[in-house]
Amino acid sequence: MARWSPPRNGGGGHDFDFKKKRKVEEIYQALNSDPIDVAALRRMAISEGGLLMDEIRCKVWPKLLSVNTDDLPPLPGKELREDNKDYQQVLLDVRRSLRRFPPGMPDDQREGLQEELIDIILHVLKRNPQLHYYQGYHDIVVTFLLVVGDRLATALVEKLSTHHLRDFMDPTMDNTKHILNYLMPIIDQVNPEVHDFMQSAEVGTIFALSWLITWFGHVLSDFRHVVRLYDFFLACHPLMPIYFAAVIVLHRQQEVLDCECDMASVHHLLSQIPQDLPYESLISKAGDLFVQFPPSKLAREAAQQQAERTAASTFKDFELASVQQRPDTVLRQRFGEQPRGEERTKSILTKPRTNRFVKLAVMGLTVALGAAALAVVKSALEWAPKFELQIFP
């Protein structure tokens, strides 16, 4: 097995403080252990600062996605662009995606990368005819291209597309809409007042659509923030971006409540994401929320958002959710907790978080549970739309 050593001048020379240096060492230790300590890598990707450097990301991202870097698929030839139903749309979107590239980059270099970006997207789509391109997919792919280069990006994006992003790439966006339905129940658990306000404004959830399907790549202008979030999301359950979206709304709760209670005002406020968010603390909060209100717990409310509170749906929903949400069940068992009353969960949130790292670590481990590591992805989501078909034939 290849042995990696930490970079000598790790990232920022003298500024590279002790804490970071130690984290770098820990990451390399996890990379060099046999077998590779993927659970530790997940913890590193989640905890403060994430994976710190692109050099490390090149090594760790493939491990988080179980991609074998020794066996990368060959890059495609130019024939890719002929007879591709998505080519025109991809071309339009990539040509317009200037903002995703570093500001000082020379035009010819950027144009070269844009060509690579088109090729990666078309390549993945061609190899996976069940996947459908969506506007915003290019915002995700460009992040991988800029961090790991075209060859590795192709492999990582392919894995991501058949797992984390799978639901966004259905023929329709019904599953995506369903995932957005998790947003309001999460907000309701933490701050019912904000939830009720947003419901009366009828703001909907489309303001968070681009956040979800681009993993915030479309809306954050500082690339460092984007890759930090990608570290986090790659290490977590595929629903984590929706928890992060909820945390952003909750972070701005006062602004929301001060807003005029109508769709336009609230949509306008929320869709303008502040660029100076406290990312590290929001990441911790999103992790906490995930642990306290795992998807299985929210599944019923999320389904109700769509089913418009059809009473008959609730029981079966819940049954289905509990069967299919095994990883979360396991998670709860690890905590030795039974499902709690609402009162108690709310009071827990207001207490100081003393065991955050334990929770986050468990969360990392939970996602990594053996074969479930990536199989979690679809199972978390696929039952609901099917079930709705049963209610509304």
Partner 1 sequence: MMAAAADLESSLELSLTGSGALPGGLPPARSRIFKIIVIGDSNVGKTCLTYRFCAGRFPQRTEATIGVDFRERAVTIDGERIKIQLWDTAGQERFRKSMVQHYYRNVHAVVFVYDMTNIASFHSLPSWIEECKQHLLANDIPRILVGNKCDLRSAIQVPTDLAQKFADTHSMPLFETSAKNPNDNDHVEAIFMTLAHKLKSHKPLMLSQPPDHDEIRIKPEPKPAMTCWC
Distance CA 248, CA 89 (A): 31
Q: Answer yes or no whether residue 210 interacts with partner 1 by CB under 8 A.
A: yes
- Give whichever of 174 and 337 is closer to partner 1, judged by the CB atom: 174
Q: Which residue has the tokens 């904000």?
A: 194
- Give whichever of 81 and 326 is closer to partner 1, judged by the CB atom: 81
Binding flags for partner 1, 102-141, as an x/- string (CB under 8 A): ------------------------------x-xxx-x---
Q: Answer yes or no whether residue 101 interacts with partner 1 by CB under 8 A.
A: no
Q: Answer yes or no whether residue 69 interacts with partner 1 by CB under 8 A.
A: no
Q: Answer yes or no whether residue 207 interacts with partner 1 by CB under 8 A.
A: yes
Task: Choose which of 24, 45, 60, 97 interacts with partner 1 (CB under 8 A).
Answer: 97
Q: Answer yes or no whether residue 257 interacts with partner 1 by CB under 8 A.
A: no
C-alpha distances out from residue 261 to 249, 308, 326, Å: 15, 22, 39
Task: Choose which of 22, 75, 85, 98 interacts with partner 1 (CB under 8 A).
Answer: 98
Tell me if 393 sits within 8 A of 386, measured CB to CB. Answer: no
Q: Which residue has the tokens 């995703």?
A: 100
Identify which range of 238-246, 270-278, 322-330, 344-352 contacts partner 1 by CB under 8 A.
270-278
Q: Answer yes or no whether residue 310 interacts with partner 1 by CB under 8 A.
A: no
Instruction: Tell the smallest beta-carbon distance from residue 5 to partner 1 (Å).
Output: 40
Q: Which residues of 108-140 are buried (b: 16+ CB within 10 A; e: fewer)?
A: eeeeebbebbbbbbbbbbeeeeebbbbebbbbb
C-alpha distances out from residue 250 to 188, 197, 200, 247, 286, Å: 10, 12, 17, 5, 10
Size of the site for partner 1 (CB under 8 A): 39
Distance CA 37, CA 161 (A): 24
C-alpha distances out from residue 122 to 152, 279, 326, 366, Å: 15, 33, 34, 33
Task: Choose which of 37, 93, 158, 188 interacts with partner 1 (CB under 8 A).
Answer: 93
- Give whichever of 91 and 282 is closer to partner 1, judged by the CB atom: 91
Contacts of 74 (CB under 8 A, 6+ apart): none
Instruction: Tell the smallest beta-carbon distance from residue 217 to partner 1 (Å).
Output: 11
Task: Choose which of 110, 251, 268, 346 interacts with partner 1 (CB under 8 A).
Answer: 268
- Give whichever of 36 and 391 is closer to partner 1, judged by the CB atom: 391
Among positions 137-196, residues that touch partner 1 (CB under 8 A) are 138, 171-174, 176-177
User: How many separate helices (H) and strands (E) can be counted in the chain?
Assistant: 22, 0
Task: Choose which of 75, 264, 312, 348 interacts with partner 1 (CB under 8 A).
Answer: 264
- Give whichever of 15 and 308 is closer to partner 1, judged by the CB atom: 308
Distance CA 24, CA 266 (A): 42
Distance CA 252, CA 236 (A): 24
Show the CA angle centred on residue 344, arms to residues 343 and 345, nearest 5°.
95
End-to-end Cα separation, the chain, in angstroms: 54
- Give whichever of 205 and 324 is closer to partner 1, judged by the CB atom: 205
Task: Choose which of 69, 253, 265, 310 interacts with partner 1 (CB under 8 A).
Answer: 265
Distance CA 268, CA 256 (A): 10
Binding residues for partner 1 (CB under 8 A): 89, 92-93, 96-99, 132, 134-136, 138, 171-174, 176-177, 202, 204, 206-207, 209-210, 213-214, 218-219, 221, 259-260, 262, 264-265, 267-268, 271-272, 275
